[in-house]
């Protein structure tokens, strides 16, 4: 037998859990600190003498010296460096390490 009206299922109301923003706030705060340190790094890299020293060590393939030069900037955030003939990649992992929420990678070109 045919039903004159279509059968309609009413949705069951399933409430979402209460939103907890504490981890998100910690991530934002950690990333803000990372961005401040990135600014410090960029200001130092903008100094011609520092840039020349860094590029010379990289061109010579002296990874230890490149890392030492980068550490002299004095940031609290650990910096991972990678470089090629065309540029420099700096990766900063937001602190504290136990949060491991955020990573900032900057690629700066220095050659063709």
In a domain, 15, yes or no: no
Tokens 């010296």, residue located: 65
Number of domains in the chain: 1
Lowest mean pLDDT among 8-17, 56-65, 72-81: 8-17
Asked if residue 2 belongs to a domain, the reply is no
On whether residue 4 sits in a domain, the answer given is no
Query: Considering the chain, what percentage of its residues have pLDDT values greater than 90?
Result: 57
Q: Is residue 46 part of a domain?
A: yes
pTM of the model: 0.78
- 95 preceded by cis ω (within 30°)? no
- Segment (H or E) for 13: none
Domain residue limits at 32: 22-109
Q: Give me the chain's average pLDDT, please.
A: 88
């Amino acid at each position: 037998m045919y039903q004159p009206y279509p059968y309609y299922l009413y949705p069951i109301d399933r409430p979402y859990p209460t939103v907890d923003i504490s981890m998100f706030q910690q991530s934002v705060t950690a990333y803000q600190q990372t961005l401040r340190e990135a600014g410090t790094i960029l200001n130092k890299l903008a100094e011609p003498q520092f840039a020349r020293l860094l590029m010379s060590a990289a061109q010579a393939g002296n990874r230890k010296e490149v890392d030492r030069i980068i550490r002299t900037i004095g940031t609290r955030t650990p910096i991972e460096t990678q470089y090629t003939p065309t540029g420099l990649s700096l990766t900063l992992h937001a602190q504290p390490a136990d949060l491991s929420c955020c990573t900032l990678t900057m690629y700066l070109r220095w050659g063709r």
